[in-house]
Amino acid sequence: MEEIVVVGNGMVGHRLVEALRDRDTDRHLHVTLVGEEPRTAYDRVALSSYFDGADAHDLSLGDLSGPTVDVHVDERVTAIDRDARTVTTARGRGLRYDRLVLATGSTPFVPPVPGHDLPGCHVYRTIEDLDAIIASARDARTGVVVGGGLLGLEAANALRLLGLETHVVELAPHLMPAQIDQGAAALLRALVTDLGVHVHTGTASTAIEASPQGRAARLVLDGGDRLDTDLVVFSVGVRPRDDLARAAGLRIGERGGVVIDDTCTTDDPRIHAIGEVAEHRGTVYGLIAPGNAMAEVVADRLLGGEAVFTGADTSTRLKLLGVDVASFGDAHGRTPGALDVVVNDAAGGRYAKLVVSDDAGTLLGGVLVGDASAYSALRPLVGSPLPGDPLSLITPEGGADLGADSLPDHAQICSCNAVTKGALSRAIADGDHDVPALKARTGAGTSCGSCVPMLKRILARSGIEQSKALCEHFTRSRAELVEIVRSTGVSTFSALIASHGTGHGCDVCKPAVASILASLGNGHILEGEQATLQDTNDRYLANLQRNGTYSVVPRIPGGEITPERLIVIGEVARDFGLYTKITGGQRIDLFGARLEQLPAVWARLVEAGFESGHAYGKALRTVKSCVGTTWCRYGVQDSVGLAIRLEERYRGLRSPHKLKSAVSGCARECAEARGKDFGVIATDQGWNLYVGGNGGFTPRHAELLAGDLDESTLIRYIDRFLMFYVRTADRLQRTAPWIESLEGGLDHLRDVVIDDSLGIAAELEEAMERHVASYTDEWAAVLADPEKLSRFVSFANAPHAPDPTIDFTTVRDQPVPAGASVDLGMPARRPQEGPR
């Protein structure tokens, strides 16, 4: 078995080892992966999400350890012995290799200005760097980022999210000089400045002055100006980590980097280099896509293939400080004879430039700022004949076709993973007929995701019709059924299936139609025929648990509760012998109620002013909040008051899936609003609205829909967002995948909700007002209706008799189901309650 040693457990090293593990089916290779960071590889591209609520686990790319792969973390390789073909680590470990791959990446460059090593000075490269920045920011008010490139603006956004007044200092005349031109940078600067970030371009940092406590306190600029600051983040570029290669006598490029040929091999035929440590044809690439391409070449070569690396696409599409920025191909027009075609709409916050050949027939590159929705269609056209007039491709009123038909098979649809249109077409021909299947087969869309809209277009142009059927009984989608119910006035499942379906229905369509009818205001969910459509939890307005009992969750808007009401909950739990637990949504869950006890429990709670918290339904659950300006010294808005207003407005709203929300009173984000279906974060000017976040099996972070909103505008946008979701989402589709499924994604949603592009904003607002006006508490409605109350019995012939099969034991002074594995210190199995 051939021994492969990979030095560097970053994204590129991980990609190489993953490819070898998956393709070496005959197990000819044994791979040892050594990394100096204290954890396995993580997504460094998404590092800034660490400030949006992601943690190290969220960023992790996973552990590749297995039968043919050994992974060593927190261990630095200190030397290479090329004659003995061994590497030595700082722990004294010696590893023999048949082939060695250097994937050591790069290190941040810190300019040697006086004071650069003072406490409070940081770089922005690893999770440990970010932890250090967060620690420094706790007692800080102002931060300065030295460097206005791609990573510098990400660092600036991080400081902004930490609640700091933020400055960016860039030596070049404009921001992001490596990616965009001066016109695009002018708009980017205006948009960034509008967000409260102070931009200083065309100036250098000459020194950092210390405070009396010996920490960084002022940044001195070359004109003599001084910026008071509490911390400094250097983001002025990186240098290849080529020290191992230098010491081993490998050839190094003039500006650093291990020189490699088209096979990614150094001047030692047994040593390869990939990623940011490698110099290929005079270029050191600082992006993930070229690194991945090199990893694929080396993986192929180690397995006996003949792949070559001849260069890579350096296109990028990013969202920096909430602003879309994209650059592709020859963005600066360096090709001889190149012409620029520019649309500069400063008032509309949009800049687009195409670089074309001297005959305007071939696309060479481009830059997009403010609106980068055309990126996924334009980037694959680089080097190909244009499908129409260049100006028509970037003007809003342009009608040129940017569909899949205009792309040649060699066009690279996914630059991160080097997937061509031809590869996708072959996968479709082999039976991969939806986006998840294409992702799994080709890897397209699994990194930055910007190519996913094009994957959908290629599927459509290939004649693959995606089924919209709700189930075998309805050929229509849920969204279409919503419109049918709205337009025809159908109010029962039987009428709907008779007119627009077949058969008698199933456990898929019945609760889905029940949800549609409820969301459109067709009375109490236990009224008449609707009662038979509900699943178990909705049928009894409580969550069924593992031992046949139910849990009860009263609504506590915003998590705010009086001592008197707390006492009532305690008394109810005591009197009915219920287990109590505080949920993650700032409520109190009461477990262990038998079916016949539910009305009596509700009666006590309703009398005290509580109502159903809808923990059992596909509806709004909670609006979590921090304490905001009421108590917190960092708060800038009244988060509690707003959370209560939102929860009381949207309570009872039935939807395709459960809805959760939160309101944070400042950028420190204690309410975790970015993990909710719609979340609100306070700013000095108002409120930022985020949408499309969720926990569950596939956690997602919400994205910014609109910023610095006053309260009335915020609520108006939320009204529109929620009603548009209720009407158009698929069955059991949460907001995150719903937004992803929209043609145009978040940009389209923004057009609908904010710009009213479909002309339905007033109708959506009216629908929400009807919901608010018609809301009634479902528990109270049952208590007032003898017919509904008759459902809540365990035995028809003995309505007040308890179920003898339900038994409890006591653990930690509380009742739990008998047999639950909590005794003797063993952890309890998680109750099968509905998620809170």
Look-up of token digits 């102070």: 198
- Give the highest mean pLDDT range of 181-195, 369-383, 598-612: 598-612
Q: Determine the pLDDT at residue 819.
A: 65
* Nearest of 360, 361, 343 to residue 352 by alpha carbon: 343
pLDDT above 80 for 396: no
* Nearest of 483, 475, 481 to residue 501 by alpha carbon: 475
Tell me the CA distances in angstroms from 566 to 16, 521, 542, 615, 812, one per residue in order: 56, 32, 20, 19, 21
Q: Determine the pLDDT at residue 805.
A: 66
pLDDT band at residue 794 using 50, 70 and 90 as cut-offs: low
- Dmax over Cα atoms in the chain, in whole Å? 91
pLDDT above 90 for 273: yes
pLDDT band at residue 826 using 50, 70 and 90 as cut-offs: very low
pLDDT above 50 for 495: yes
Q: Determine the pLDDT at residue 266.
A: 97
Average pLDDT, stretch 167-178?
93
Q: Are 135 and 606 in contact (CB under 8 A)?
A: no
Q: Determine the pLDDT at residue 18.
A: 93
pLDDT above 70 for 277: yes
In 325-355, which positions are buried (b, 16+ CB within 10 angstroms) versus exposed (e)?
Answer: bbbbbbbbbebeebebbbbeeeeeebbbbbb
pLDDT above 70 for 3: yes
C-alpha to C-alpha distance for 750 and 742, rounded to whole angstroms = 11
Half-sphere exposure of 594 (CA within 13 A, CB side): 17
Q: Determine the pLDDT at residue 282.
A: 92
> What amino acid occupies position 511?
P
Helix (H) or strand (E) holding 722: helix 711-728
* Nearest of 218, 242, 246 to residue 230 by alpha carbon: 218
**Which is more confident, 147 or 514?**
147
pLDDT-wise least confident of 45-54, 68-77, 206-215 = 45-54
- List the beta bridge partners of residue 339: 356
Average confidence score pLDDT of the chain: 87
pLDDT, one tens digit per residue, over 41-58 is 998 888 888 887 778 888
pLDDT band at residue 399 using 50, 70 and 90 as cut-offs: very low
Q: Determine the pLDDT at residue 404.
A: 58
4's CB contacts (< 8 A; 6+ apart) are 20, 29, 30, 31, 32, 97, 98, 99, 100, 101, 302
> Using H for helix, E for strand and C for coil, what is the string for 480-498?
HHHHHHHHHCCCCHHHHHH
Q: For residue 757, what are its two tokens? A: 């592009």
Q: Are 687 and 660 in contact (CB under 8 A)?
A: no
pLDDT above 70 for 833: no
Q: Determine the pLDDT at residue 155.
A: 92
Q: Are 605 and 554 in contact (CB under 8 A)?
A: yes
Q: Determine the pLDDT at residue 453.
A: 66
Q: Determine the pLDDT at residue 129.
A: 94
pLDDT band at residue 447 using 50, 70 and 90 as cut-offs: low
pLDDT above 90 for 98: yes
pLDDT, one tens digit per residue, over 480-489 is 889 898 888 8
> What are phi and psi for residue 650, nearest 5 degrees?
-105, 5
Half-sphere exposure of 816 (CA within 13 A, CB side): 16
Long-range contacts of 420-428 (CB under 8 A, 24+ apart): 421/380, 421/458, 424/455, 424/458, 425/458, 425/462, 428/458, 428/459, 428/462, 428/464
SS3 289: helix
Q: Are 224 and 207 in contact (CB under 8 A)?
A: no
**Which is more confident, 345 or 401?**
345
C-alpha to C-alpha distance for 516 and 493, rounded to whole angstroms = 10
pLDDT above 90 for 836: no
Q: Determine the pLDDT at residue 823.
A: 43
pLDDT above 90 for 752: yes
DSSP label of 236 = S
C-alpha to C-alpha distance for 177 and 197, rounded to whole angstroms = 18
Q: Determine the pLDDT at residue 799.
A: 55
- List the beta bridge partners of residue 612: 554
pLDDT-wise least confident of 304-313, 353-362, 530-539 = 530-539
C-alpha to C-alpha distance for 442 and 314, rounded to whole angstroms = 20
pLDDT, one tens digit per residue, over 693-718 is 987 656 778 999 999 999 999 999 99
Average pLDDT, stretch 350-376?
88
Residue-range domains of the chain with CATH: 2-107+240-302 (3.50.50.60), 121-236 (3.50.50.60), 315-402 (3.30.390.30), 405-464 (1.10.10.1100), 478-540 (no CATH)
DSSP label of 570 = H
pLDDT above 90 for 415: no
Average pLDDT, stretch 370-378?
79
pLDDT above 80 for 165: yes
236's CB contacts (< 8 A; 6+ apart) are 109, 110, 111, 146, 147, 149, 152, 171
SS3 563: helix
Q: Report how far Cα 100 is from the mean position of its chain's Cα atoms.
A: 35
Average pLDDT, stretch 67-84?
96
Q: Determine the pLDDT at residue 465.
A: 65
Q: Are 415 and 441 in contact (CB under 8 A)?
A: no
pLDDT band at residue 228 using 50, 70 and 90 as cut-offs: very high
Q: Determine the pLDDT at residue 529.
A: 66
